[in-house]
Structure 1
Amino acid sequence: MSDLLEKVKANLILEHSEDDELLERLILTALSYAESYQHLTEGYYSENEIPATTEQAIIMLASHFYESRDGSTAGFFSDNVNASSQVWNTVNLLLRLDRRWQV
């Protein structure tokens, strides 16, 4: 988790540790979303390596949750009304690349 925490903080350009507990919860939420979206069992990524594309999706999603924790879009693209949907579209596209399809 600490590796993901550092990557999310780098993505957010955060140098303080006041929000680390919040970020860890948001990372867990993003991990849970990824596992569910990819049809994996809960906790799969706590025991298995996270593919690079899925890791990027988790970083983006946790960052998005952090920047919009007040319900707004916020962040770098706050003036773009489509920013939130663009984030979700990108996250879902990345997660689809590693999705386990049922045959």
Structure 2
Amino acid sequence: MIDWDKQVLGPVIGVFGEPAEITPQSGSPYSVSGVFDEAYKAVDGFSGVESITSVCPVFGIQASACPARPQQGDAVTIIRLGITYLIRDIHDDGHGHLKLLMNYASGG
């Protein structure tokens, strides 16, 4: 069986990851490393219309790096940018990776 967290996610975040801080709506902030993309483009080709495209910032992290699962409304501060985002949706790939789709909150 493949250990996705150790063999895939860990090395990817080790190469492309950058520091951030997640501040839950309740609880203490914690540091995490993840892959940030300021303009992730999602395309929905199954909506019944030709396609719906949305662009938003995302932050990909290992679920195992979080003391508690991030929730909608939690804040994510990308340290390099000094910008804070709020999590609007979480996509779990089933192998230990969480894609946090976010909205701009403040900073920068």
TM-score (norm: length of structure 2): 0.23
TM-score (norm: length of structure 1): 0.23
More helix by share: 1
Which structure exhibits the higher relative contact order, with contacts defined as CA atoms closer than 8 Å and separated by 6 or more residues? 1
